[in-house]
Structure 1
C-alpha cells in the first residue's frame, strides 16, 4: 500500500507539475499578449499625440501668422497715415510759400512769362483764366489772347484754353503744387516698408 500511496503522490505531483507548467505557459502567453496590446496601444497613442501636436502647432503658426499679418497691416496703415500727415504738412507750408510769392514783386513778371508761354503753346485765340487779383498784372498780353477772371483759382497762376484748337493747359500754382506730390512721396524718403 505504501507503494500505492507513493505512486498516487507521484501521480499527483506529476499532475501538479503539469498544471503549473500549463499555468506558466498561459501566464507567458497572457503577458506576451498584454505586452503586445500595450505596445500597440502606446504606438497608437504616440501617433495620435504626434498628430495632435502637429495639428496644434500648425494651428498656432496659422494664428500667429494671422496676428502678425494684422499687426503689419495696422502698422502699414499707421505709417501711411503718418506719411500723409507729413506730406500734407509739407505741402501746406509750400502752399503758404506760394501764396507769399504771389505778394512779391517777382510774381508779376513770372505771371506774364507764364501767359506768354501758354499763348505760344496754345496759339491764337487763347483765353487765359486768372484770379481776379491777378488781372491787373496781366498787361501786354500776346496778340490774339484774352484774359478772364477764374473764381476757382485761389492760389495764383494761369489756366488757358483755346476752344478753336481744342487745347487746354493748367499752369496754376495749385496744379504745379499738386504735380509735385507724387515726386515728393517717391523721393522724400517716406517709404512704407514692413
Structure 2
C-alpha cells in the first residue's frame, strides 16, 4: 500500500509538473500574443497619426502656396497700376507739350510742310484735309499749297496735325498728333521693359 501511495504521489507530481509546464507555455504564448497585438495596435495608431500629420502638412502647404500666389498677384497688380500711372503721366506731359507746340509759328510751318508732302502722292486729285478748328485760319495757305484740297474742321482733333482723305481712292491718311501719340504709347508699352509676367 505504501508503494501505491508513493506511486500515486509521483503520478500526482508528474501531472502537476506537466500542468505547470502547460500553464507556463500558455502564459508565454499569451504574453507573446499580447505583445504582438500591442505592437499591431501601436503600429496602426502610428499609421493613423502619420496620415493625419501628412494631411495637416498638405493643408499647410496648400495654404502657404495660396498665400504666396495672392501676394505675388497683389504685387503684380500694384506694379501694373504703377506702370500705367507712370506711362499716363509721361504721355500726359507729351500731350501738354504738343498743345503748346501747336500755338507756335514753328507748328504752322510744320503743318503746312507736312500737308504739302502728304498731298504729293495725290497731285491733281481732289482731297479733303481735316484739321483742328484752331488751325482753320491756315485754310487759305493750305489751298495755295494744295489747290485740289477742301479744308474742314475736325472736332475730334484736339492735339493738332491733320487727316488727308482722298475719296476716289478711298484713302485716309491720319497724321494727327493724337494718332501718333497713340502709336508711340503702344510702342512704349512694347519696348519700355516694364512688362509684368503673369
Please tell me whether the aligned partners of residues 127 and 148 of structure 1 are also in contact (alpha carbons under 8 angstroms).
yes
139-148 or 37-46, which deviates more: 37-46
The CA distance in 2 between the partners of 1:117 and 1:39, in whole Å, is 97
> What's the RMSD between the two structures over aligned residues?
2.2
Q: 1:134 offset after TM fit, Å?
A: 0.7
1:182 lines up with 2:186 in the alignment: yes
The CA distance in 2 between the partners of 1:152 and 1:73, in whole Å, is 38
Q: 1:5 offset after TM fit, Å?
A: 5.5
Question: What is the aligned partner in structure 2 of residue 40 from structure 1?
Answer: 40
Deviations 1:3-56 (A, max 9, x none): 665555444433332222111111111122122222222333333333333333
Question: What is the aligned partner in structure 2 of residue 104 from structure 1?
Answer: 104
- Identify if the C-alpha distance between structure 1 residues 121 and 8 changes in structure 2 by more than 3 Å, giving closer, same or farther: farther
The CA distance in 2 between the partners of 1:27 and 1:89, in whole Å, is 91
The CA distance in 2 between the partners of 1:115 and 1:49, in whole Å, is 83
Q: 1:102 offset after TM fit, Å?
A: 0.8
Question: What is the aligned partner in structure 2 of residue 142 from structure 1?
Answer: 146
The CA distance in 1 between the partners of 2:63 and 2:121, in whole Å, is 61
Q: TM-score, normalised by structure 2?
A: 0.86
The CA distance in 2 between the partners of 1:76 and 1:48, in whole Å, is 42
Question: What is the aligned partner in structure 2 of residue 166 from structure 1?
Answer: 170
In the alignment, structure 1 segments of 5+ residues that lack a partner are: none
Q: TM-score, normalised by structure 1?
A: 0.87
The CA distance in 2 between the partners of 1:148 and 1:181, in whole Å, is 28
In the alignment, structure 2 segments of 5+ residues that lack a partner are: none
The CA distance in 1 between the partners of 2:121 and 2:46, in whole Å, is 83
